[in-house]
Structure 1
Amino acid sequence: MKFMKTVLFTILLMSSQSAFSQTKNEEELIRKARQTSNEAIARQDIDGISKFWLDDYLIVRGSGVIEQGKEACKKNWVKMFKEAPQTNFERFPSEIIISKNNPDLAWESGDWKGFNTYSKGGRYSAQWKKKEGEWKLQAELFVALEK
């Protein structure tokens, strides 16, 4: 009996470590996607920015303007870079949580910085959704807090 308890405990311990490892791996994939997105913004690469968006992507910009749909958002980025080519944004995630309720959903929050734009930055949050094995952005909310 003692042997069986030891075996069961070992199996439970190994499976919990495996789940923790998988969650950390998913978190790292999202961090890498965020970094790649930041790099695409710096290059003004609209396709590189939008490749992380789902078709029904929703953004609330730091100014409070709401935009919905991947194609509409792409047009607004093109317009912004055309009118203000020196503009840049960077996001710095401080927390990424993979949902225990649905492992294909994740929460990200952190700080964002704006360069040569109306605000120097603020806070943001994002909802990621894993679709066909890749993490994509469902929605982002930015709040401009710095002048």
Structure 2
Amino acid sequence: MKNTLLLLLGLFILSFSYGQDSEIAQILSQRDASNKALRNFDHELNATFSTDDLFITTGAGTLISGKEAQAAYINSLQGPKIYWVRTPDEVLVNPKTLLAWETGTWKGYYENSEEPVVGGKYSAQWTKASGTWLIRSQLFVTLEN
């Protein structure tokens, strides 16, 4: 009886861990695709990785609420074109709430450049309420110039 309980507990932990790894892999794949879209200045494609009610705090503290506001913000940017790359350091998933936390570093690059001109730390909240992991909110803090 004791061995059976230990076996069942081990299988539960293994399946939980595998489930977590699978969810994290999905989020990392979405993040990679979002980074590629930004690198190619495909803001329409990048918007597909977010919920409609997306909320962003930019590195300079500007608040953006919703995809339409995000598009307007991007279109209002003056000067040389910049793309951003987010590099996750940690992703944690809550399978019960279908929410995830991502944190890492971000860097901004001028078009056709490999040298960052700005960067810092970021955090993101992901939701899988729609069946696909999407970004619900992001907070960026500029720490490097």
Give the aligned residue type for 1:33. Answer: Q
1:46/1:78 contact within 8 Å kept? no
Asked which structure has the greater CA Rg, the reply is: 1
Identity of aligned residues (%): 35
The aligned residue for residue 140 of structure 1 is 138
The aligned residue for residue 63 of structure 1 is 60
C-alpha spacing 1:108/1:17, structure 2 compared with 1 (3 Å) = same
Provide the TM-score with structure 2 as the length reference.
Answer: 0.90
CA deviations over 1:90-136 (Å, ceiling 9, x no partner): 00000000126x34000000000011399510000000011221001
Give the aligned residue type for 2:61. Answer: G
- Write 1 or 2 for the structure with the bigger share of helix: 1
Question: Runs in 1 of length 4+ with deviation above 4 angstroms?
Answer: none
Structure 2: which 5+ runs fail to align?
none
Number of aligned residue pairs: 141
CA deviations over 1:63-98 (Å, ceiling 9, x no partner): 100010111112222333xx4453111000000001
Computed over aligned residues only, the root mean square deviation of the Cα atoms, in angstroms, reads: 1.8
C-alpha spacing 1:48/1:85, structure 2 compared with 1 (3 Å) = farther
Provide the TM-score with structure 1 as the length reference.
Answer: 0.89
Structure 1: which 5+ runs fail to align?
none
Distance 2:23 2:107 in 1: 25
Show the 5 A alignment for 1:1-147: 4-80=1-77, 83-84=78-79, 86-99=81-94, 102-116=96-110, 120-147=118-145
Distance 1:12 1:139 in 2: 35
